[in-house]
Chains A and B, each alone.
Chain A
């Protein structure tokens, strides 16, 4: 049997930890829980991540890089800002369906346990790949004349807050329809709120 590389092992831990943290919460989940889920000893786990806090930060960076890369692909396409908006919404909802633990982790752990992420993750440090791509999206939108010039965080909060809120409602099983059925109207709402009038 082929040996599993260190990188693959690390990814295995990341996937397992994401699931456990988002299901049980940050404090209830222990390192032995994670080690058990990936089938390794606790001692060996520490070869990959030296503490639970460090793992928690790596997870945010992992999600942020994943999201950043997806948005970058959209940003680089020769399409209108309106189409880009729809593509980002669609990508985000697809991720919430296929890998709900990623968004759950972001919403439930990263945003609610700020004490864990304070040092080393201050400001945008751990989420910078994702935030940078959103900056590029807004910057390009304004410079091509599609979006209204305004404060970055007002626009960012509107866009991401809306998406996060919908995924949260979906996770709580409050939404009557599947997420995808809201895609078109949500993209339109976001675009209308941001566009030049």
Chain B
């Protein structure tokens, strides 16, 4: 059932590969979801009300301007008895934009970890160019994240609906969202600077880099600039960043920073290790009382 105005709106089909539904659930938290969806003609979504059923979609007769794909690609997987590869071929060819939502669709992510030989993202297998839509890679926008931040998907879909150009990085992620590091905007930056570590999760004070495994200084994402549910982020609540937007996610030992004789194996992006070690050694020489206790205590409050 279509009304006349539908033809003015781009059609959207949301397909799923191997997924936990996390990106769909994240999307449901978008505060302006109804307004955004009003800009689209939603033909199919696994959870949201849409005009077609899956059995209609797999017949490959629907139009599709924007194809959203959630989950890892598995060449043997079928949806309603039709191979994913056939669905991707058909709708991918027709769509003007293809969005890989989440780290599984972008790089293989969590599910690739369990079937490394089989599962991949749409155009990347971790950071290697490989995947079913490689030939259509110019249309693909990856929104990595486990799950994708609802605002990032909201941004991307709004830009497409408004016919605006989205510039992407080498991993096809929008620069607007992924050129920053999670470290940017973290409320703990002063602790990072002076090398004061948080000894446990959940503390408001201290940096989570050395003792809790924070990957934010090498992770591209805007979690600390565009907050989750408009209020918080992992590092703000005292949990380390897991680096979930990068192709090597999930790494082993998410709560652990790999060190070689106490020296972190990975140092902040773009900083030569030697220089980092020199600066760190010097920063550690300072004892800043204000940063050593709880900020709320009188003795360190000023």
CA distance A150 to B273 in the complex (A): 19
Inter-subunit contact A125/B282 (CB<8 Å): yes
Residues of A within 8 A of B277 (CB): 132, 135-136
Stretch of A137-145, A172-180, A184-192 with 4 or more beta carbons under 8 angstroms from chain B: A137-145
A128, CB-defined interface residue at 8 Å: yes
Interface residues of A (CB under 8 A from B): 122-125, 128-129, 131-133, 135-136, 138-143, 147, 149-153, 155
B296, CB-defined interface residue at 8 Å: no
Known: A132-B274, A135-B277, A136-B273. A123 touches B282 (CB 8 A): yes
Residues of B within 8 A of A131 (CB): 281
* 6 pairs of A and B residues whose beta carbons are closest in the complex: A123-B285, A142-B260, A124-B281, A152-B262, A138-B261, A122-B285
Closest-CB distance, A83 to chain B (whole angstroms): 19
Residues of A within 8 A of B286 (CB): 122
Contact with A along B243-276 (1 / 0, CB 8 A): 0000000000000000111110100000001100
Interface centre among A128, A129, A141 (most CB of B within 10 A): A128
Inter-subunit contact A138/B260 (CB<8 Å): yes
Inter-subunit contact B281/A132 (CB<8 Å): yes
Residues of A within 8 A of B170 (CB): none
Cross-interface CB contact of A150 among B261, B278, B282, B284, cutoff 8 Å: B261
CA distance A112 to B273 in the complex (A): 31
Task: List, sorted by A's number, 11 A–B pairs whose CB atoms are closer than 8 Å.
Answer: A132-B274, A132-B278, A135-B263, A135-B277, A139-B265, A140-B260, A149-B259, A149-B260, A150-B261, A152-B261, A153-B262
Inter-subunit contact B282/A128 (CB<8 Å): yes
Give the number of residue pairs across the A-B interface with Cβ within 8 Å: 57
Inter-subunit contact A143/B260 (CB<8 Å): yes
Residues of B within 8 A of A150 (CB): 261
Known: A128-B278, A129-B278, A132-B274. A138 touches B285 (CB 8 A): no
Residues of B within 8 A of A155 (CB): 261
Inter-subunit contact A125/B285 (CB<8 Å): yes
Known: A149-B259, A149-B260, A152-B261. A139 touches B281 (CB 8 A): no
CA distance A128 to B278 in the complex (A): 6
Residues of A within 8 A of B273 (CB): 136, 139
Inter-subunit contact B261/A149 (CB<8 Å): yes
Inter-subunit contact B262/A123 (CB<8 Å): no
Inter-subunit contact A152/B263 (CB<8 Å): yes
CA distance A128 to B281 in the complex (A): 7
| Given A132-B277, A143-B260, A147-B261, 7 other A-B residues pairs in contact with their CB atoms under 8 A | A122-B285, A125-B281, A132-B281, A136-B274, A142-B260, A152-B263, A155-B261
CA distance A151 to B261 in the complex (A): 5
Give A129's nearest chain B residue, CB to CB: B278
